[in-house]
Chain A
Amino acid sequence: MSLHTLSIAELSAGLARKDYSAVELAQHFLDRISSSNPALNAYITVTAERALADARAADAALAAGTAGRLTGIPVAQKDIFCTDGIRTTCGSRMLDNFISPYDATVVERLSSAGTVLLGKTNMDEFAMGSSNETSWYGPVRNPWDLSKVPGGSSGGSAAVVAARLAPVATGTDTGGSIRQPAALVGISGIKPTYGRVSRYGMIAFASSLDQAGIMAPSAEDCALFLQAIAGFDPRDSTSVDRPVPDYAAELSTPVKGLRIGILKEFFERGLDGVTGALVNAALEQYRALGAELVEVSCPNLPLSVPTYYVVAPAECSSNLSRFDGVRFGHRCENPRDLIDLYKRSRGEGFGAEVKRRIMTGTYVLSAGYYDAYYLKAQKIRSLITADFKAAFEKVDLLIGPTSPTPAFGLGAKVDDPITMYLNDIYTIGANLAGLPAMSIPCGFDGHLPVGVQLIGPHFGESRMLSAAHAYQSVTDFHRRMPAAYV
């Protein structure tokens, strides 16, 4: 059986026709996980029993005629989303023993849509990383080449979808953590507008940037799942109360006449030659589809990375203060006093990159430095956002590379934080401005996939998804699979 090669829509149709049951479908993916996960290290926790129970419930709904479009579709959850009664680690030793007492809204919504939970995916610790090498559970390997990283921080979700150990996975994106790994493993990934998807129960990293999204082979798959998780949630104070369009219905909107802006700044610094050529070929493809391409400039965009590395660490240092060794999470042995309990619990529970960011954030927020760093960075965020706003007065979407290079080798960038941070040079801008953005596969550099990025105006997910879908209707990069996992 090759159920893992089917799209969400095809799987859904097959379940409705009773070509296979939801239990058979779940078992198919569980078998693939058993054989391939040990080498990829993409799942931290596999929830086999839960998956089969969910699948039996889905089969009952299918038999009773109460099934929805996603009933019986297996899904992997990034281990940053709280799952009631299931270990939720966030890739950290700090939460190695944490059994979440409640479900995140994203988890709850996918459960009520009838999906089947396969497990929790590996990730950079607290989503801080661009290679999945900061995980307490070890690095994830790229299914296209086991010596390469899958990107991060949603590296596990990226790898499980690329190797088809799940048809779809959730991710989160604070500075590129959905789009960069999607590009590096050759799948599609969408980061919606800030506030579009509830973050209740999604462990916080940088609250003015964090957003949940979907990773799957195609834009169509992403649209179907985004539909299920998007929408207002009173439990997240940043959730926006605004109607959710029918993303799947709007997928067929033609590209003809669409104005796409080529982001000048994305083609200037540090872009690898082959990646640039493949992205340029994607631009030509859009031109052939009838889009109008114009060059646009966002002059402050090159300040994205330094701006982010003030804002994100500052917010993380505040968010991660909740991990105190008292109420949940790791506690050191034999604390001498309360300060010793805090310091050693946190010192032992957090890995090096997380500690580095907490200390950076503590520094930029400390007395006398707030204006020079955080306030300054928030002002530059206003400049970057204004650049995007001006660009969207001229064009419907922006386009550029997702990542400056294809997947790099494990260990290649771990010693130099700045080199690692520059992986996100093209993705961070959308987070700073709260814009929706996605990456879709646009070709191969040798055996390694390359992604092209689309950025839309606030709440422009539909137009972005339909543009991605149009490209995928005339290309097959999103259908390619690494040979070892076909």
Chain B
Amino acid sequence: MSLTRTQVERMAHLARLDITEAELPVYVDSLSKILSFVEQLSAVDTQSVEPMAHPLEGESQRLRADDVSETDRHEKYQLNAPSVSGDLYIVPRVIE
């Protein structure tokens, strides 16, 4: 399994990762190796096998009651934000 530069650039774009020219061939090589390595899974007959839904048999994601359980702590949370104005997170202009 060998990926092309274009495919890796596409993955980087989809994952919103800036990859430098110098890094690109390294990722082309290592991602190709990883995909070749996992290729062996395709040889396994899984026709009548159900995909695992949860590591514990019979368990599923629990739902909580639809009640308010959190208090508003946005001021504390926003202390970690790179840029805020008032209660808002600031990003570059999206709509011209």
A residues adjacent to B (C-beta < 8 A): 97-99, 101, 193-195, 208-209, 234, 237-238, 240, 300, 303, 305-307, 309-310, 317, 321, 324-331, 335-344, 346-348, 350, 352, 355-356, 358-360, 362-364, 366, 372-373, 375-383, 385, 416-418, 421, 432-434, 458
Contacts and interface: CB of A to CB of B under 8 A. Distances in A.
A338 B12 contact: no
A461 to B, nearest CB: 14
Contacts of B40: 303, 306
A380 B41 contact: yes
Interface of B: 3, 7-8, 11-20, 23, 26-27, 30-31, 33-35, 37-42, 44, 46, 49-52, 54-57, 59, 61-64, 73, 76-77, 79-83, 89, 91-94
A335 B89 contact: no
B55 A418 contact: no
Contacts of A327: 77, 80-81, 89
Contact of B17 (A195, A306, A336, A358): A358
B52 A359 contact: no
Contact of B80 (A99, A195, A237, A341): A99
Contacts of B56: 193-195, 240, 434, 458
Contacts of A434: 55-56
Nearest to A367: B14
A376 B42 contact: yes
B52 A378 contact: yes
A306 B92 contact: no
Contact of A326 (B26, B55, B82): B82
B18 A348 contact: yes
A373 B18 contact: no
A426 to B, nearest CB: 17
Contacts of A208: 54-55
Contacts of B12: 355, 359
A342 B76 CA distance: 23
Contacts of B55: 194-195, 208-209, 385, 432-434
Given A195-B56, A363-B7, A417-B34, 7 more contacts: A193-B56, A240-B56, A325-B82, A328-B77, A337-B93, A341-B91, A383-B46
Contacts, number: 173
Contacts of A385: 52, 55
A103 to B, nearest CB: 13
B19 A355 contact: yes
28 contacts: A193-B56, A195-B56, A208-B54, A237-B63, A240-B59, A303-B40, A303-B41, A305-B37, A307-B38, A309-B38, A310-B41, A326-B89, A330-B82, A337-B94, A338-B92, A341-B91, A341-B92, A343-B13, A346-B16, A346-B18, A348-B18, A359-B8, A363-B35, A373-B41, A375-B51, A378-B51, A385-B55, A417-B34
Given A326-B91, A379-B51, A343 B18 contact: yes
Contacts of B44: 300, 303, 376, 380, 383
Contacts of A373: 38, 41
A201 B65 CA distance: 21
Which 10 residue pairs of A and B lie closest in terms of their CB atoms, listed nearest first? A434-B55, A347-B18, A378-B51, A331-B82, A328-B80, A379-B46, A343-B18, A342-B16, A381-B52, A194-B55
A94 to B, nearest CB: 12
A326 B81 contact: yes
Contacts of B26: 352
* Residue of B18, B39, B92 ringed by the most chain A CB atoms within 10 A: B18
Contacts of B33: 416-418
Contacts of A193: 56
A348 B11 CA distance: 17
Most buried by A among B34, B40, B92: B34
A350 B17 contact: yes
A298 to B, nearest CB: 14
B3 to A, nearest CB: 8
Nearest to A99: B80
Given A327-B80, A327-B89, A306 B41 contact: yes
A344 B50 contact: no
Contact of B41 (A307, A340, A359): A307
A194 B18 CA distance: 35
